[in-house]
Amino acid sequence: MILEVYGSITKEEEVKSLKVGLPNTMVLEDLGLFYGYYGSNIAQEGMPDSLFLVLNSKESNEKILRLTQLVKKQSEIVFEGTPATVCVQNNTYSAIRVRKLTSFEQVAEIQDFYRDFGLDFAKAKDILEMAIIRVTKTSVLTQIDEKIWKDEDRNIYYLEIDRHIPWSLFKKITKKVRSNIDFTEFDAALAVMYRKEVKDFIRVYTKKLSVEQLKTLLDKYETVFEKLM
């Protein structure tokens, strides 16, 4: 079964401010992409996988999606732009998570288009620390087991769970799970998907785990859920 779903991912990763884009605007690089898999400060060749164009005020997901559609059409730049929030240094910012740019020069170009459509960017600020990130996006998923779905984009899987979990508790649970399995080559985050009904998932990034190992991982999480919740 293949489904196109709309949802959000909540994760904790290291971000760093970059001096790119329009003058005195805040652009953050996702420095610890898939932090639980690679660890922090992993060098990336070429353009960073993810950048965050930080906004000066809260904007609706719908507005960001509509403006992104216009920017892509008028700029003729191929990129992926999705609504996001970044919680860092005790501040929560609205942002546009940008992927698939081919040069840093394109950052200022698309910022110019967004600004022409009425978006205002936050002022530049030096940041290098962990952040709680929430990204809203559309995904195409293929079901590979009863409770396991594979994303068409990269090595990402979704393990379906039957409850909502706060991020702080999920971090604690993930540490317990890691200490009770013999494979650790994965990064875990929380996901919520919307279709006919709301469903909760664990988002797993891995290049090495088999379907059977993913089933074992889900079983381990569910065992800890029962003990702590």
How high is the pLDDT of residue 38? 44
HSE-up (13 A, CA, CB side) for residue 106 = 18
Q: How open is the CA angle 92-94-99, to the nearest 5 degrees?
A: 120
State the average pLDDT over residues 207-215: 93
Q: For residue 141, what are the β-bridge partners?
A: 3, 151
State the average pLDDT over residues 24-46: 66
Residues near 64 by beta carbon (within 8 Å), at least 6 away in sequence: 81, 82, 83, 94, 96
List pLDDT tens digits, range 58-82.
Answer: 999 999 999 999 999 999 999 999 9
CATH 3.30.300 location in the chain: 144-228
φ, ψ dihedrals at 161, nearest 5° = -125, 165
List pLDDT tens digits, range 124-183.
Answer: 999 999 999 999 999 999 999 999 999 997 789 999 999 999 999 999 999 999 999 998
| pTM attached to this predicted model | 0.89
How high is the pLDDT of residue 36? 54
HSE-up (13 A, CA, CB side) for residue 165 = 29
CATH architecture of 144-228: 2-Layer Sandwich (3.30)
List pLDDT tens digits, range 1-31.
Answer: 888 999 999 999 999 999 999 999 999 999 8
Instruction: Using alpha carbons, select from 111, 22, 48, 118 the residue that is nearest to residue 75.
Output: 111
- Do 193 and 213 meet the contact criterion of CB atoms below 8 Å apart? no
How high is the pLDDT of residue 14? 92
